[in-house]
Amino acid sequence: MSRLAVVACFVAGVSVGAALVGAGLYLSSPEAGQPRASATRPQRAPARLDTLRNEAAIGDDRSNHALVDALLDGYDETGDAQALLEAVVWLDRQADPTQDAAVARRVVTHYCGHPAMRWHWLCLPGE
C-alpha cells in the first residue's frame, strides 16, 4: 500500500471520528431532541421554578405547594415524566403532604396510572 493511500485512510478515519464525536456532543446537549417553543404555547419560566425550588428547599410551605402545582401543570402540558417525578419528590418533602388535600387528590386521580407512580404511597390501595 502506498504512502498516499495510508495518509488518505488516516484522514478519512479522522473525519469519520470527528463526525461521530460531533454527533455525540450534539445529542448529549440539553437542547437536542427538544421540540422548539411554539409561538402559541407559553413556556413556563424556568427562573420562576428555580425561585420556588430555592424557597421550598428552605422550608417555605407556600412555595412548596406552588412548586408542586407548577410541576404537575408542566407534566400535564408536556407529558414530561421528569416533571411528574420532581413534583412527587417535593410533595413528599412537605411536612404533612395530606394537608393539601387538593394536590393529593389530583395525584391519586390523575397520575397513579403512570408506571413511575405505581409504588408511591399515595397510589397504594388502602393508604
Query: In terms of domains, do 31 and 53 share one?
Result: no
Identify whether residues 57 and 75 lie together within a single domain.
Answer: yes
**Are residues 30 and 58 located together in one domain of the fold?**
no
Query: Has residue 83 been placed in a domain?
Result: yes
Q: What are phi and psi of 44, to 5 degrees?
A: -65, 140
Tell me the per-residue pLDDT of 89-125, one tens digit each, with 9 for 90 and over: 998 888 666 667 888 888 889 999 988 888 888 888 8
Q: What is the pLDDT of residue 49?
A: 92
Q: How many domains does the chain have?
A: 2
The 10 Å Cβ neighbour count of residue 3 is 7
Considering the domain architecture, whether residues 72 and 101 belong to the same structural domain is answered as: yes
Position 123 in a domain: no
Query: Which range of residues forms the domain containing residue 61?
Result: 46-117
